[in-house]
Amino acid sequence: MARINIQYIKRDLEKAVPQFRNLSKGAAISKLNGAKNELLRDLDEHQVTKELEGDPLAQGKILTEGNLFSFFGFNEGEDVTSELKEVLKDQIVLAPNPRLDIKSKSFNFVYVVEEPSKKELEIATPMPEWTNGSWLTRVEKGLKGLEAFMAGSFRNSRSGGGIQIPHNIRSDSFNGVSYLTEMLKKFRKRISS
């Protein structure tokens, strides 16, 4: 009958932990980058992003008249979504120190993914200078004023695609749509599976 010296196995295992950590970190970074690329692709393909990056005069699919860029009153030619994309690219990262999870027959390195806070996302998505708040929040929660928004090319239009008039011309309102919140849920599922 052979004898196994557990102390030798434990010592060899402890020596191997840094190698396993490096291997696991490479795998974790690869998985994170793949999921982050899918998140950014989802963002680019979302109708909200298309309306915020598109022609101010184009009819969007979210509002009954006009599009989100014009309705929110961004300045013509303004790049609305780039700062949000940069924050997502730069601030979704692996936390530096993984946790070593030891079980009876195995061990795993558990990595935490850090994301930008709600406040950081709001700072990256400011409404035009004539108002306050975050367009990201307004997209998801809604914004009053659609009742008096007239889409079209007007001389006094900031966006080049519509103006607010002094009276209501419709009963519709913009109550918000699911946007980044849903995309982040999908992202979290991708990295946790």
H/E run at residue 149: strand 149-151
Interacting residues of 57 by C-beta distance below 8 A, sequence separation 6+: 70, 151, 152, 153, 160, 161
User: pLDDT by residue (tens digit) across 52-111?
Assistant: 999 999 999 999 999 999 999 999 999 999 999 999 999 999 998 888 777 766 777 788
**pTM value?**
0.85
Residue boundaries of the structural domains of the chain: 6-192
- Looking at every residue in the chain, the average pLDDT score rounds to 89
Averaged pLDDT for residues 4-30: 68
**pLDDT for position 109:** 78
Q: Which two tokens stand for residue 114?
A: 């850090």
**pLDDT for position 172:** 87
**pLDDT for position 131:** 87
H/E run at residue 94: strand 93-94
Contact 92, 175 (CB under 8 A): no
